[in-house]
Amino acid sequence: MNDAIQTIICIGEATVELARGGDGRFALASAGDTFNTAIYLARAGQRVAFATALGDDPYSDAIVSLAAAEGIATNLILRVPGRLPALSLAGIDGMGQRRTHSWREAAPARDLFELPQWSRIAEAMTTARMIYFSGITLSLYSNVGLGRFLAAVELARAAGAKIAFDGNFRPHGWGGDLTRTRTVFAETLKRVDIALPAYDDEAVLWGDPSPDATIERLQAFGVNEIVVKNGPSSALVAASGARDTVPVPEVVSPVDPAAAGDGFNAGYLAARLNGRNAVDAAHAAHRLAGEVIRHRGSIVPRTGAAVH
């Protein structure tokens, strides 16, 4: 079998992040929800490519170097001369919640499916084993870009790729336009095989009264495998005609909640790709998410990032 068909393509944005540490100082890092998931998938032994657009500056070079060092294929990272990647400023507030402020309006990732080379991404998608993206990914693109992206997703799915999606709804990324957000999500969900939403996000966007309601709404769109992340205590899994609540093995007081969901998604998808059932995969996802939140920043040291 062609090795390309084994690749997971994660699509989205990688940003330059200035994160405030426990000593109050800022450190330079790279972040991005689908980028974080790509790293954890690669660490779990999966063949991963990351699709985005960056500039030709030293900070973009550093993001590409990090991806390569993590074993992620970088041939789908398009480079745009004269442009700069998005910048985010992150810290933990007095309530222990992570707060991020971003400058991304001119970032080249927003134009990924309008760049002259965009068809290279679309062609690669048709050879993938899985396509993974998020609501943040969708929020980047114009209507033209979204049309091209969703058409590419549909072609990839017809060619055999599984489509995995985390709603990851962030109102500011959509300019507060709930009507447009719901319309885009509705079109997207028609093309999704595995949904990995967080209940808190779904309640805000759709008004779902419970995780069960989220599952029923997603099933109405034709999504066959759903894992609803329900805060720090459990996940609700709907797959193969069954519905199971999977509790976390250990409640962890987070050092930094950043990327908990990204780690969960990677843990789940890696386990499923390795042939484990949905409930076992959710247990593995909880373990990885619990490890992620024990460390500051989105990417934990390699020694603490194994998927079991």
**262 among known catalytic residues:** yes
d(C-alpha 124, C-alpha 142), whole Å: 21
C-beta separation of 117 from 154 below 8 A: no
Our measurement of the distance from residue 78's CA atom to the centroid of its chain's CA atoms, rounded to an integer in Å, reads: 19
Q: Which residues contact 48 (CB under 8 A, 6 or more apart)?
A: 7, 8, 9, 10, 38, 41, 42, 71, 72, 73
Q: Which residues contact 275 (CB under 8 A, 6 or more apart)?
A: none
d(C-alpha 76, C-alpha 122), whole Å: 10
**Across the chain, which distance is largest between two alpha carbons, in Å?**
53
State how beta strands 98-103 and 87-92 pair.
antiparallel
Collapse the DSSP code of 92 into the 3-class scheme (helix H, G, I; strand E, B; otherwise coil) and give the result: strand
> Which of 177, 200, 262, 280 is flagged as catalytic?
262
- Residues with a catalytic annotation lie at 262
